[in-house]
Amino acid sequence: MTTIAFIGLGHMGGPMAANLVKAGHEVLGYDLVASLRDASAQDGVSIAASAKEAVARAEVVITMLPMGKHVLAVWADVLPAARKGTLFIDSSTIDVESARKAHALAAEAGMASLDAPVSGGVGGAKAASLTFMAGGSDEAFARAKPVLEAMGRKIVHCGPAGNGQAAKICNNMILGISMIGVCEAFALGEKLGLSHQALFDVASTSSGQCWSLTSYCPVPGPVPTSPANNDYKPGFAAALMLKDLKLSQEAALAAGAATPMGAEAAQLYALYAGAGHGEADFSGIIHFLRGLGAVEATKA
Ligand code: NAD
């Protein structure tokens, strides 16, 4: 059993903390929102009076917060309260630069650290089937692995500090681009008189096959569990896809990488979210690609 402080008990952090409890760990939780603290207490999390109080007794600290600025602020606040050598793990999706700054803060304070963002969404968080992509030293990874295994099915060490975030934004850039490609193909198929099922049956077993098609098919029918069958309720919200695409573009700019399709995908999701669809599943962008009238007619 490990004593774990868990800061950020939201959509992802709540079920992740609950799975740590189920695995037999002692979990000391904190969130700014009282109702989330109460919900986690129902799951067996011991609620602390502050993030600092949660961290003081912990061997491992996990943060699951919205953005880089939140992670840096929380780590700066709680690092002085932690015991030397405590392992800090950030599982939020944040920019690579902030992730590397967080590692530096931890090292200065005499702590071990890992960036370990996740893929798999709220469903994966609840089912303890997340994929973790980790950046940090071999020692930090080895210490974190048994803890992460209580929340995920696949734990990948991607290299040194920040490389977990790098893997996450590269993966999600592929996802954003591929979803737009799949949506364009269905919109074109419709105009050519091709049924959704026929296009799915061909593309899902041909070279067009990809996760956006086979798991999140953007039209109702071929994949019954895809958000398209549930009024495009997320799933994976378009606003979160936009956040990740923006992170990929910030990183591309900083690294001097050309990512023209990623840039285009970011612009299209900015337009779609800006038209009031940020809370819809990201596959809902098919309405936008059929034309603005279609978006308004099917506002999710
Ligand atoms: P969320 O907004 O539901 O949860 C974040 C929580 O952090 C909130 O409950 C908030 O009150 C809390 N918080 C903020 N500042 C705090 C502070 N100073 N001290 C304590 N608590 C604080 O977000 P989420 O959907 O759980 O996502 C968390 C992270 O995981 C994000 O970076 C997101 O991009 C990433 N992510 C989300 C998904 C998803 O499907 N929701 C999937 C993969 C990755």
Share of the chain above pLDDT 70, in %: 97
pLDDT of residue 294: 54
Residue nearest to atom 34 of ligand 1 (CA): 93
More confident of the two residues 122 and 131: 131
Rounded to whole angstroms, how far apart are CA atoms 47 and 76?
21
**C-alpha torsion sign, points 102, 103, 109, 112:** positive
For tokens 């734990």, the residue is 155
DSSP strand pairing (60-63 vs 118-119): unpaired
pLDDT of residue 198: 98
Architecture of domain 166-299: Orthogonal Bundle (1.10)
pLDDT of residue 293: 55
Question: pLDDT at residue 295 above 60?
Answer: no
Contact 99, 165 (CB under 8 A): yes
Q: pLDDT, tens digit, for every residue of 252-269? A: 999 999 999 999 999 999
Q: pLDDT, tens digit, for every residue of 169-204? A: 999 999 999 999 999 999 999 999 999 999 999 999
Residue 253, SS3 per DSSP: helix
Supply the DSSP symbol for 277. Answer: I
| Catalytic residue from among 52, 101, 168, 243 | 168
Mutate to test the pocket of ligand 1, among 45, 63, 65, 215 (most ligand atoms within 8 A of CB): 65
- Give the dihedral of Cα atoms 178, 181, 187, 188; nearest 10 deg: -150
Residue ranges covered by each domain of the chain: 3-160, 166-299
Query: Which structure tokens are listed for 132?
Result: 């973790």
Contact 147, 20 (CB under 8 A): yes
First to last CA, the chain: 44
Mutate to test the pocket of ligand 1, among 35, 38, 64, 118 (most ligand atoms within 8 A of CB): 64
* Residue ranges around ligand 1 (CB below 6 Å): 7-13, 30-33, 36, 51, 64-66, 70, 74, 92-93, 118, 121-122, 236, 240, 243
Which CATH number among 1.10.530.10, 3.30.43.10, 3.10.590.10, 3.40.50.720 corresponds to the domain 3-160?
Answer: 3.40.50.720
Q: pLDDT, tens digit, for every residue of 11-27? A: 999 999 999 999 999 99
Question: pLDDT at residue 145 above 90?
Answer: yes
Rounded to whole angstroms, how far apart are CA atoms 38 and 24?
20
Q: What is the mean pLDDT of the chain?
A: 96
Report which of 112, 40, 105, 116 is spatially closest to residue 83, judged by C-alpha positions.
112
Query: Which structure tokens are listed for 26?
Result: 């002692």
Specify the DSSP element, H or E, that contains 76. helix 68-78
Share of the chain above pLDDT 90, in %: 94
Residue 168 annotated to the active site:
yes
pLDDT of residue 98: 97
Please state the rounded mean pLDDT for residues 46-55: 98
Specify the DSSP element, H or E, that contains 183. helix 163-191
Question: pLDDT at residue 42 above 50?
Answer: yes
More confident of the two residues 298 and 213: 213
pLDDT category at 300 given cuts 50, 70, 90 is: very low
Q: Which atom of ligand 1 is nearest to the CA of 12?
A: 26
**3-state DSSP helix/strand/coil percent for the chain, to nearest 5?**
55, 15, 30
Q: What DSSP line would sit under 52-63, residue for residue?
A: HHHHHT-SEEEE
